[in-house]
Copies of this chain bind each other. A is one copy, B any other.
């Protein structure tokens, strides 16, 4: 058929192909982590004949981002509760990228599968997403998930090494992987070594639930009440040491990572040294609880709030807290707490909120990325494997420093893998349907290659 056409009229054939590859991309949600994603897609839009619609609650903010691209891109005001508008927007698109909070993806995904549109997100595959897999596969619809940083780049970069070691006959016995969204050394001007480069709520609630992993063949569980006390030290040449704590269910990644022989399997989160010991104070107090509201919170100070979680006694709050924490308290922890003005009768400015919300409100003031501040992404995979009878260790590490407080390393590393993979799918670099995550070569190989050209490059180091 192609031969026939091309022999008849070459011009017409080219025209037909261009019609076929022109794609309408819909981005829902243009918050903190979307800047690099949007920039990348806008830059590539003309070449790929994309039309881009960006739907967000703050239409003006989107308009500002697309001023130079009004021929390619359109801003739409979008209320996430407006199901009719969501459906209408999705119906007009070919490919939907959802940057909404994770719990909202399911509704978008249902619309996409029903209306025959592809979808990509940077979030974990939910049960509801998983349930759409069969129908999506049957309709040749892609539901690409876990395609940001963590999850995302971690999967891709780990699988690259795993596939390589296996291809040379190695047997992987141990896998640990750590990732943290931190602050760059040059912008690290508070004792916590932390500023918010992504959703502050997720940082305050981080670690809730029970971490599950395998250590030397033994099933291991760490509940939330001591997740910040059982830390490992991770070292990165040129960047020093970090605290690593176990994160969520690592065991469930044995299968997608094809690590059947692995007797150690751990995924973890990185923080600056000392962060975990200090954060543990909040966990032990109960200040990260998000299950109930404190009414008339604005009649309290943060000092009174701390006191309400402490056992009785007439001593000053600081003295009581030191006694309460016992050996879990030290000078460094105290410095961090004092930086937050916890003992200075600082008033709470929220009328009502859960303890976690009240804490978040304070931290958003204290841990703000200031103009010019740079954030930093650190990731390290640690492999143990046997090759030709020898025991080997290999570390694969990534450091990405942000440009500034808007074009953060977080926005780059969350947005670029997603944007690149959407491009790769639309340009036919991979043809996979149903629920996918970037553990498969067709997805991760071109993604990692292009990420390297954009400065997101892993360094491998043989330890043994």
A contact residues vs B (CB 8 Å cutoff)? 209-210, 212, 215, 218-226, 230, 249, 283-286, 289, 291-292, 294, 300, 304, 307-309, 311-312, 355
Contact = CB atoms under 8 A, between A and B. Distances in A.
Contact of A292 (B212, B292, B300, B307): B212
Contact of A309 (B215, B221, B286, B292): B221
A42 B267 CA distance: 60
A249 B294 CA distance: 11
B230 A311 contact: yes
Q: Which 3 A-B pairs have the closest CB atoms?
A: A223-B286, A225-B225, A219-B308
A13 to B, nearest CB: 55
A307 B249 CA distance: 18
Contacts of A224: 225
A105 B226 CA distance: 36
B218 A292 contact: no
A210 B304 CA distance: 17
Contacts of A221: 286, 289, 308-309, 355
Contacts of A230: 311
A223 B309 contact: yes
Given A219-B308, A221-B355, A223-B289, 6 more contacts: A210-B289, A218-B308, A219-B304, A221-B289, A223-B286, A225-B284
Contact of A210 (B215, B225, B226, B292): B292
Contacts of A212: 292
A347 B220 CA distance: 18
Nearest to A225: B225
Contact of A225 (B215, B218, B222, B283): B283
A228 B100 CA distance: 40
Nearest to A294: B219
